[in-house]
């Protein structure tokens, strides 16, 4: 008896945790016929309860689940990155047919996505990686999505993705990123920028609390005012909302009861690793990664403070100076991440359109911010722009914030307040805007001890000197 595909589901979700379940509910809200699979009956029960208005059905039997889908079948995986993705794919392959589509929407490393694209292509299956940002709320009501890989496979899903994506000026925050693992690469860099901005916010909190003596309520008020202006962003908004929350077990603010050891899932580290492989510096992101690691050495930090003495961290800067320093450093964090995308596009032949990436980051994602409109306009005007600092409009903003940045960094360094992200960002700017660096000495040193040769400024060629 022939299958009646008209009565079958358009898409199946594998993994009904928070993200997978909310994406399915989002799709159902938009009128799409979708279903999900999970080995955990509790997850299926949650889907069916939360989706009762749409009569959403879930499966715990993978054969029945696959049979319920229209052909060619389209599957989204939202399972933990790494070996679990390969395990799920191995379980699926015997049940699928040529032309079926698998979409990995977890935070997979882009190199794993490259491998899976090649392996599944040999089996006649379409595979592409799609980064999703926005967390639980974004998945439910409109995320930013970064799909890359098989463009024909993307076009099959385009109507669903555009329907469920966040909207800014009626533009959906999703676009075809490019070939190969470009979607997961762009999401990885997004997460690196996210790390950097979170670190900058943490350092700003430290300056306000320890350098200026502000209370949590006063810091809340400062951040709230900033978020109403040019710094408006999702990360600043949620940070603002953290400060007034009271602890349920003590009379204190909850923030003051949280241990100062930061965790991570590794995506920021991946950005740093790739930047070094591509020989393109992203120091603000690197410092954010490093300081999450450094925060874990709590006992060592306590003992060393006892050994060297507690610092007198009071400083004299204005809130306007600090706001300028944060704006300057936030701009640089975006600029570094986008510069890495430019380099990766050349190296991996991704053919990335930076204006479209900036456009879909304006809404739905964790790093969405008012400033992304400026970034979009800069790359829309010149999509071959090598570095964001090269745009005339961005240059005006940077020049207007530079004095406050220098004053803030100088005051903190003089008073012993650790501001690794702020300091490295300013040093990055001063170096990348210098026509001549002292790196000629390094080349002379290398040639002296290892005969590694050097180039000259007055003629072409490679040279070696008899230094001693």
% of the chain surpassing 70 pLDDT = 99
- How large is the average pLDDT for residues 9-17? 93
**Cα–Cα distance, 372 to 220 (Å, whole number):** 24
If pLDDT is split at 50, 70 and 90, which confidence band does 152 have? confident
Would you say residue 265 has pLDDT above 80? no
Stated as kind and residue range, the H or E segment containing 14 is strand 11-14
Higher pLDDT, 246 or 107: 246
The structural architecture, per CATH, of the domain 187-433 is Orthogonal Bundle (1.10)
User: What residues are designated binding site?
Assistant: 107, 133-135, 190-191, 195, 265, 292, 446, 452
Active site residues per annotation: 187, 194
Give me the pLDDT at residue 388, please: 98
Q: What are phi and psi of 2, to 5 degrees?
A: -70, 145
Where in the chain are the domains? 11-176, 187-433
Q: Provide the token pair at 344.
A: 């990766």
pLDDT value for 358: 96
d(CA 119, CA 131): 20
11-176 — its CATH code?
3.40.50.720
- pLDDT of 6 reads 59
pLDDT tens sequence across 57-106: 899 999 999 999 999 999 999 988 888 899 999 999 999 999 999 999 98
Residues 6+ apart with CB under 8 A from 326: 200, 201, 204, 226, 231
Split at pLDDT 50, 70, 90, the class of 191 is very high
- The pLDDT score that the predictor gives to residue 4 is 53
Binding-site residues for substrate sit at 107, 133-135, 190-191, 195, 265, 292, 446, 452
| Distance in angstroms (rounded) separating the CA atoms of residues 299 and 296 | 9
pLDDT recorded at residue 1: 28
In the prediction, which pLDDT does 3 show?
44
- pLDDT of 2 higher than 60: no
Longest CA span, the chain: 88
Determine the pLDDT at residue 129.
93
pLDDT of residue 256: 96
Give CA torsion, residues 233, 237, 240, 244, to 10 deg: 180
Q: What is the reported pLDDT for 5?
A: 60
Please check the confidence at residue 44 and state whether its pLDDT lies above 90.
yes
Q: Is the peptide bond before 72 cis (omega within 30 degrees of 0)?
A: yes
Contact partners, residue 37, CB within 8 Å, separation at least 6:
12, 13, 14, 15, 16, 58, 59, 60, 62, 65
Q: What was the pLDDT predicted at 266?
A: 75
Is pLDDT of 321 > 80?
A: yes
Contact call for residues 197 and 276 (beta carbons, < 8 A): no
At 42 the pLDDT is: 93
User: Quick one: pLDDT at residue 313?
Assistant: 85
Which pLDDT band holds residue 350 (cuts at 50, 70, 90)?
Answer: very high
Task: Indicate the pLDDT class of residue 353, thresholds 50, 70 and 90.
Answer: very high
Are the C-beta atoms of 101 and 73 separated by less than 8 Å? yes
| C-alpha 101: how far from chain center | 25
| Contacts for 465 with CB less than 8 Å, ≥ 6 apart | 444, 447, 448, 454
pLDDT tens track for 389-411: 999 999 999 999 999 999 999 99
pLDDT-above-90 percentage for the chain: 86
Determine the pLDDT at residue 118.
87
One DSSP character per residue, 340-385 reads HHHHHHHHHT----HHHHHHHTTSSSTT-BTHHHHHHHHHHH-TT-
The predicted model scores a pTM of: 0.94
Asked whether residue 431 carries a pLDDT value surpassing 90, the answer given is yes
């Amino acid at each position: 008896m022939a299958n009646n595909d008209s009565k079958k589901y358009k898409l199946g979700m594998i993994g009904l945790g928070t993200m997978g379940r909310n994406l399915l509910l989002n799709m159902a809200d938009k009128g799409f016929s979708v279903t999900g699979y999970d080995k955990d009956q509790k997850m299926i029960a949650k889907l069916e309860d939360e989706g009762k208005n749409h009569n959403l059905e879930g499966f715990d039997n993978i054969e029945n689940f696959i049979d319920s889908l229209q052909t060619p079948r389209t599957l989204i995986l939202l399972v933990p990155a790494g070996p679990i993705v390969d395990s799920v794919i191995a379980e699926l392959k015997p049940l699928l047919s040529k032309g079926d589509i698998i979409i990995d929407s977890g935070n997979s490393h882009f190199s794993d996505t490259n491998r899976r694209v090649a392996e599944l292509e040999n089996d006649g299956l379409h595979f592409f990686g799609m980064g999703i940002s926005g967390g639980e709320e974004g998945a439910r009501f409109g995320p930013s999505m970064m799909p890359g890989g098989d463009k024909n496979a993307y076009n099959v899903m385009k109507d669903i993705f555009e329907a469920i994506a966040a909207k800014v000026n009626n533009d959906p925050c999703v676009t075809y990123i490019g070939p190969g693992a470009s979607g997961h690469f762009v999401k990885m860099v997004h997460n690196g920028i996210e790390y950097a901005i979170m670190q900058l916010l943490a350092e700003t909190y430290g300056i306000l609390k320890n350098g200026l003596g502000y209370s949590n309520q006063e810091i809340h008020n400062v951040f709230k005012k900033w978020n109403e202006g040019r710094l408006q962003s999702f990360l600043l908004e949620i940070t603002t909302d953290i400060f007034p929350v009271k602890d349920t077990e003590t009379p204190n603010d909850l923030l003051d009861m949280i241990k100062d050891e930061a965790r991570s899932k590794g995506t920021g580290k991946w950005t740093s690793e790739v930047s070094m492989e591509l020989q393109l510096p992203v120091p603000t992101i690197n410092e954010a990664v490093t300081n999450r690691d450094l925060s874990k050495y709590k006992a060592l930090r306590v003992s060393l403070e006892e050994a060297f003495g507690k610092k007198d961290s009071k400083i004299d800067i204005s809130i306007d100076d600090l706001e300028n320093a944060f704006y300057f450093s936030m701009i640089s964090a975006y600029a570094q991440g986008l510069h890495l995308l430019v380099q990766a596009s050349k190296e991996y032949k991704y053919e990335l359109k930076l204006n479209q990436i900036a456009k879909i980051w304006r809404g739905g994602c964790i790093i969405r911010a008012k400033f992304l409109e400026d970034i979009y306009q800069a790359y829309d005007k010149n999509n071959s722009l090598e570095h964001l600092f090269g745009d005339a409009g961005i240059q005006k903003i940077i020049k207007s914030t530079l004095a406050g940045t220098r004053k803030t960094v100088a005051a903190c360094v003089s008073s012993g307040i650790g501001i690794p992200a702020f300091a490295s960002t300013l040093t990055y700017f001063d170096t990348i805007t210098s026509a001549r660096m002292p790196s000629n000495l390094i080349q002379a040193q290398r040639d002296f001890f290892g005969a590694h040769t050097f180039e000259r400024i007055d003629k072409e060629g490679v040279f070696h000197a008899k230094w001693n």
